Homo-oligomer: A and B are copies of this chain.
Amino acid sequence: MERLILHENAASGNCYKIRLTAALLGLPLDRREYDTMKGETRTPEFLASINANGRIPVLQIGERFLPESNAACWYLAEGSRLIPEDRFEQADMLRWMFFEQYNHEPNVATLRFWLLFVGESKLSAFQRGQIAAKRAGGEAALALMDEHLARQQWLVGEGATLADIVLYAYTHVSEGGGFRLRDYRHICGWLERIEALPGYVTMA
């Protein structure tokens, strides 16, 4: 495989997903750190050459650039055990990955960012006005996962897939956003199963 460089911020769960996928697959990954709070992903150079969307993570593969965390995980895991071969299971894995970006990340990750990194006292009135809705949306996403994990060990099929990895990233640090993980006991067992996978690396 061509040389892989992850353009990232180490505190971001979206970036961690990619590191965790690479670690579970034993793929070497170079890392470039950006301070998003200082606008380092909005410079003209970054927008022109790395990601016109001004966001990290971006996975660099040789001279090509791949934004969107879940797409980068897909690239790394292609052909591996982390993507089911069965047609329905593969689509069902993507179902959870789209759920992650639509229902989970904008609530669970955003509240964590606001409360842990920005600080509640520094939030704008607009942001503060969204806290209750994001709390409810995040709790609904976690409850849906918990209900599903009451019936099976992994989100899709009989083993860990990218669905588990990408939803693990912000779920396991959701207490930083004020979510109470102990309310979701099936999620807690699932977090432990992920942490026991050979090659697992922590976020820090």
A117 CB–B CB distance under 8 Å? no
Cross-chain contact A95 with B78 (CB below 8 angstroms)? no
Prevailing SS type, chain A contact patch: helix
Q: Does A92 contact B (CB under 8 A)?
A: yes
Do the beta carbons of A74 and B53 come within 8 Å of each other?
Answer: no
Q: Are B95 and A98 in contact (CB under 8 A)?
A: no
Does residue A12 face the partner (Cβ distance < 8 Å to B)?
no
A157 to chain B, nearest CB (A): 13
Query: Given A106-B102, A126-B133, A129-B126 in contact, is the A72-B91 Cβ separation under 8 Å?
Result: yes
Interface residues on A, range: 35 or more
Bound-state CA distance A180–B55 (Å) is 25
Residues of B within 8 A of A144 (CB): 52-53
- Chain A residues 58 to 97 lying within 8 A of chain B, measured CB to CB, are 61, 64, 66-72, 74-75, 78, 87-88, 90-92, 94-95, 97
A36-71 near B? 1/0 per residue, CB < 8 Å: 000000000000000011000000010010111111
Copy number in this complex?
A: 2
> With A64-B88, A98-B68, A129-B126 given, is the CB distance from A106 to B106 under 8 Å?
yes
- A103 contacts the other chain (Cβ, under 8 Å)? yes
B61 touching A88, Cβ below 8 Å: yes
A-B interface, 10 closest residue pairs, ranked by CB to CB distance from nearest: A75-B91, A71-B95, A68-B95, A68-B98, A71-B94, A101-B102, A71-B91, A74-B91, A70-B98, A101-B101
